[in-house]
Amino acid sequence: MEESKVVEEKFSPPIRMIFVTNSEVKEALARYQGRILGVLSYSAVDPGLPAEGLVHVWVPLEVIGAEVCHEIWISESPVNVRRHGEFNYSADGDYLFGCYVYREHGLEELDDRAYSIYSGIFELLDSQGYSALLRVWNYFPLINGAGRSIERYREFNVGRHEAFYAKGRAIVEGNVPAACALGTDRGYLVIGFLAGREKGIAIENPRQVNAYGYPGEFGPRSPTFSRGMLVGDALLISGTASIVGSKTVHPEDIMGQLDETLENLRMVDSMARGKGFRERELRGLYLNVYLRRVQDLGAVQKKLEADFGIDVKVCYMRADICRSDLLIEIEAFWFPVSEGDE
């Protein structure tokens, strides 16, 4: 019999994430049953995971070179799955993972919708005692398209920003989550979020203006996220792109943008080490790579394999990036590796 590709992971941090393929997901769900905080499934078609007893987020993005990539968040403690209004969520006593899916009709009023969703997230977190928002995943269609009066991503930023203030969250360094925001081809607004009873340590990048401090040329309200977040022994790096200061650099040059993106990732890693993040093995590193153009895959993949080797787990996806002149965005999750890890 073929040896299983999914092995029981012995890990020290209170939470951990793994990537599995579609052929591995059932085994992984069974192996970690009762300890799964949530699953994000990246796939062009609904992967059809069980709805009962699982917080599952289907992100309708094409995985390049594969059918599905499942991102499974695991706790070392038993997890309880519940529902609160429009939100499915799970909690283990220290961390809460939740999701929200809205099937857009007409794609209008994204600022109002973002305000409503984020207000609901904060109300849920406060009601359950997990007030520290640590990481958020935002996906919605036509991210670079026209909204009612401004670009849809900028509309989204208005609603998100206003919800932070309305619910008593000051938008200052150390008080905003790591995050990503990508554009899909389908009419679903999908948000996943991870929160804790205790705050993480927010990480910023001195090569870049803090995202929540962008000048007005990038919209009436700035994006509300930090460049990274230390959560226990794990480093969660936000969606990172070819931006220096607040400006896009190397427009239309995929390799120039990739080099700049990697430099920004290295800087966030360096800043995290200054705040207590310890050296990690590369096999504990997971990357989500979002490409605006599928034809850029070969060159990007070759560069990443040359830089990181084959131990790093990478999921490549076709997505629209939050700025129309950006061709690539990378987010990273870095966990300690213990004896028994695959």
- The DSSP H or E segment spanning 273 is helix 254-273
Check 62, 71, 151, 329 and give the catalytic one. Answer: 329
Is 198 catalytic? The answer is no
Q: Which residues contact 52 (CB under 8 A, 6 or more apart)?
A: none
Token reading at 232: 């226990």
Q: Which contacts qualify for 150-156: CB closer than 8 Å, 24 or more apart? A: 150/219, 150/220, 151/219, 152/107, 152/110, 153/181, 153/183, 153/219, 153/322, 153/323, 154/218, 154/219, 154/220, 154/221, 155/110, 155/111, 155/114, 156/110, 156/111, 156/114, 156/181
Number of helices and strands (H, E) in the chain? 5, 19
Q: CA–CA separation, 173 vs 87, rounded Å? A: 28
Would you please indicate which residues are annotated as catalytic (active-site) residues?
329
